[in-house]
Structure 1
Amino acid sequence: MFSLEGQKALVVGIANKHSIAYGCARALKAQGADLAITWLNEKAEVYVRPLAEELSADIMAPLDVAEPDELEALFETITQRWGKLDTLLHSIAFAPKPDLHGRVVDCSADGFSLAMDVSVHSFLRMIRLAEPLMPDGGCCLSVSFFGSSRVVRHYNMMGPVKAALESSVRYAAAELGEKGIRVHALSPGPLKTRAASGIDHFDELLSAASDRAPTHQLATIEDVGAMAAFLASPEARNLTGGVHDIDGGFSITA
C-alpha cells in the first residue's frame, strides 16, 4: 500500500530480537528504507550487531545518550554517509531501580532527572539534530505506554516520565509541522520486552491486559512496527502529534 524506498531511517533502542525497536526496524526495512542501527554498549553489541547485519543496516554504531558527544558523533556519521534523514525512531527509557521500584513521591531528584534525560530529553536532542537533515520533511517517533495518563500499579515514576514524553511529542509536532516534520508516540500495551522485565509484577499486567482487551490479544512488536512504517510513509504526511494506541483496544476499557 505504501513504499519507503529511498528513505533513510535511524532506529535507536534495539536490545535483542524481542525489542519494539527491532520490530520497527524490520517493518521499515520491509517497506524499502535503509537503516542506521545503534546499540547501547559493548555488552549489547553481541546481541544487536547480528540483527543489524541481518537487516543490512548501512550504519551500525554504539550510542549511549548519557555519554557526552556520542549522539552528535552518530549524527555526524549520518550526515557524512547519507546527507539526510527521513525517519527517526527513539525507543529508549531508563530509571534507576531503587527509584523505579519505590513510590513516586519517594523518588530521588537524581533518579528522576536521569530518567527524564534518557527517556525524554534525549528524544528532543535527537529531533534537534535530525531537523537540518529533514529539509523536505520527515517523521520522528518515540515509544510510550498508557501508564502516562492512568495509574498502573508498579509502573511508578515512569508514569510521569512518559507523560512528559507525550507532552513533548505534541509541542515538537506543533513547532515542526510547518517544515513537514511529523512527531508521534507509539503506545503499545504491555509487551514482553527486556525493558518491561524491570517492572515489578509485570506478568500480572500482561495477563490483565490480555483478559481486558476486546481482541483478547497482546500487541506484538510486528504490530508496532506496522504502525511505525505507516506513520513514516508519505501517505501519513498530514498526521502529526498523535499518541497511537496499539493494544487490541485495552486502552478503551474501564
Structure 2
Amino acid sequence: MGEFASLKGKKGLVVGIANDRSIAYACARDFRAQGAELAVTYLNEKAKSYVEPLARDLDCSLFIPCDVREPGQLEAVFERIGAEWGELDFLLHSIAFAPREDLHGRVVDCSQAGFAQAMDVSCHSFIRMARLAEPLMKNGGCLLTVSFYGAEKVVEHYNLMGPVKAALEASVRYLAAELGPQGIRVHALSPGPLKTRAASGIDRFDELMENAAARAPQHQLADIRDVGATAALLVSDRSRTLTGNIIRIDAGYHIVG
C-alpha cells in the first residue's frame, strides 16, 4: 500500500489481540507498517505471555491490561492514553464473548445472563470505547469494530452471536451519526469466515468455511491480511469522507450467501 494510506504521526489503540492469528494483530501490523504509533491491550496475565512478544514486534508505546468485564479497566486504558499521549486518532475494537452453553444452543433457549454478557462484551464495550475516545479525538478520528455476515443473515451454528453482532452493526450507524460532527468516523469490518481463536468456539466452523469458500464469487476466502489492509486504509485520511459502513471483506460471499 506504500504511502497511499500513510498513518505517520497518528496514534491508535488496538483491543483484542490474542495471538498472531488474530484479526486485531493483522490490523495492528498494517497500522504499524504505515507508520502509526500503537497502544495494545491484553486480556489478563495468562494472555500477556502470548501478546507481549507481538506488542514488542509492533514497537508499541503502550501495553496495557484490559478486561472490559472488570470495573474500571477500560477507563484506566483511556486515562493512560490521555496522560501519555493526550490524543488518539483511531481505535480497533476486536473483542467478543458468549458463554459456551449459550453460544452452542438455540437463540430461543439462551439464558438472560448469557445474552446480557454477550451484549456487554461484544457490543456495549464498543459504545463505551467510543464515549471514552471522543474527548481524545480532538481533530477527528476513526473507530473500527469487527462484525460478521451472521449479523445480517441467519448463519447455521452462529446462533446467539447473530443478534449480538446485529446490535453492534446498528450501533456503528448510530455512533457514526452522533460523532460525525466531530469528524469521528465509525465502521464495522465484516470479513467472511476466518480461522481465528474466537471462531474456534463456534460449532462446526470448518464446515461453514468450506461452504462459504465454495459459494463466494472468487471461490476463496479472505484472510486476516486482507482485513488488516482494509483497516489501515479506513483509518487513514484517504477515507475521510467514509463513515457508518459495514465493510464486507469476504471475496463477495455476501452477494450470494
* TM-score w.r.t. length of structure 1: 0.99
Aligned residue number for residue 165 of structure 2: 162
Residues 212-232 of structure 1: CA distance to partner in whole angstroms, max 9, x if unpaired? 111122111110011110110
Residues 104-155 of structure 1: CA distance to partner in whole angstroms, max 9, x if unpaired? 0000000000000000000000010000000110000000000001000100
Give the secondary-structure state (helix, strand or coil) at the position aligned to 1:154.
coil
Aligned residue number for residue 19 of structure 2: 16
Residues 55-83 of structure 1: CA distance to partner in whole angstroms, max 9, x if unpaired? 00000011100000001111111011110
Give the secondary-structure state (helix, strand or coil) at the position aligned to 2:243.
coil
Give the secondary-structure state (helix, strand or coil) at the position aligned to 2:41.
strand
Give the secondary-structure state (helix, strand or coil) at the position aligned to 1:15.
coil
Amino acid in the other structure paired with 1:192: K
Amino acid in the other structure paired with 2:166: A
Amino acid in the other structure paired with 1:89: L
> 1:25 offset after TM fit, Å?
0.2
Match of 1:225 among 194, 212, 228: 228
Give the secondary-structure state (helix, strand or coil) at the position aligned to 2:153.
coil
Q: Segments of 4+ in structure 1 off by > 4 A?
A: none
> 1:235 offset after TM fit, Å?
1.0
Match of 1:113 among 112, 116, 129: 116
Match of 2:40 among 12, 37, 49: 37
Which aligned pairs between 1:86-101 and structure 2 lie closer than 5 A?
A: 86-101=89-104
Q: Are positions 1:199 and 2:210 aligned together?
A: no
Q: Are positions 1:171 and 2:174 aligned together?
A: yes
Tell me how many residue pairs correspond in the alignment.
254
Aligned residue number for residue 239 of structure 2: 236
Give the secondary-structure state (helix, strand or coil) at the position aligned to 1:28.
helix
Are 2:5 and 2:232, in contact at CA under 8 Å, matched by a contact in 1?
Answer: no
Aligned residue number for residue 212 of structure 1: 215
Aligned residue number for residue 149 of structure 2: 146
> 1:2 offset after TM fit, Å?
2.5
> 1:210 offset after TM fit, Å?
1.1
Rounded to whole Å, the distance in 1 between the matches of 2:243 and 2:7 is 18
Amino acid in the other structure paired with 1:216: H
Rounded to whole Å, the distance in 2 between the matches of 1:202 and 1:68 is 33
Rounded to whole Å, the distance in 2 between the matches of 1:128 and 1:6 is 23
Aligned residue number for residue 51 of structure 2: 48
Give the secondary-structure state (helix, strand or coil) at the position aligned to 2:49.
helix
Rounded to whole Å, the distance in 1 between the matches of 2:255 and 2:51 is 35
Q: What is the aligned-residue RMSD (CA, Å)? A: 0.6
Are 2:14 and 2:40, in contact at CA under 8 Å, matched by a contact in 1?
Answer: yes
Residues 159-194 of structure 1: CA distance to partner in whole angstroms, max 9, x if unpaired? 000000000000000000011000000000000000
Overall identity of the aligned pairs, in %: 67
Give the secondary-structure state (helix, strand or coil) at the position aligned to 2:70.
coil
Rounded to whole Å, the distance in 2 between the matches of 1:169 and 1:193 is 23
> 1:12 offset after TM fit, Å?
0.3
Give the secondary-structure state (helix, strand or coil) at the position aligned to 2:5.
coil
Give the secondary-structure state (helix, strand or coil) at the position aligned to 1:99.
helix
Listed as ranges, the gaps of 5+ residues in structure 1 are none
